[in-house]
């Protein structure tokens, strides 16, 4: 089972250029996402797993932290170093962090 990190830790990882995977649905993504995130909805993740950057830790985020845990577990089960972001995008926004709109 994949572990979790805090939003504060994610902010440091984003600043360092780490890979962030957003597993929310298309309409949620369109509302805004964390900087530099890559978008693959959770329901498509297993079929598109080869699109996920391998070679470093993958930080998986969703709306609140539930789907990201599932996504991180899928990646972890497929040999990728993945962690879920506790609090998700809603927590990110509530903390006043930058949001990118496509």
Residues serving a catalytic function are 62
Longest dimension (CA), the chain: 34
Residues 36, 88, 69: CA angle, nearest 5 degrees:
100
Q: In the block, which residue shows the tokens 């902010």?
A: 11
Q: In sequence order, which residues have a C-beta less than 8 Å from that of residue 6 and are 6 or more positions away?
A: 85, 86, 87
- What are the structure tokens assigned to 88, written together? 């998700």
């Amino acid at each position: 089972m994949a572990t979790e990190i805090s939003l504060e830790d994610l902010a440091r990882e984003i600043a360092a250029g780490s890979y962030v995977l957003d597993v929310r649905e298309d309409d949620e993504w369109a509302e805004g996402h964390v900087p530099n995130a890559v978008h693959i909805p959770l329901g498509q993740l297993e079929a598109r797993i080869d699109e996920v950057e391998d070679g470093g830790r993958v930080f998986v985020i969703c709306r609140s932290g539930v789907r990201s845990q599932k996504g991180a577990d899928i990646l972890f089960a497929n040999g990728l170093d993945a962690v879920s972001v506790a609090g998700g995008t809603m927590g990110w926004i509530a903390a006043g962090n930058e949001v990118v709109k496509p």
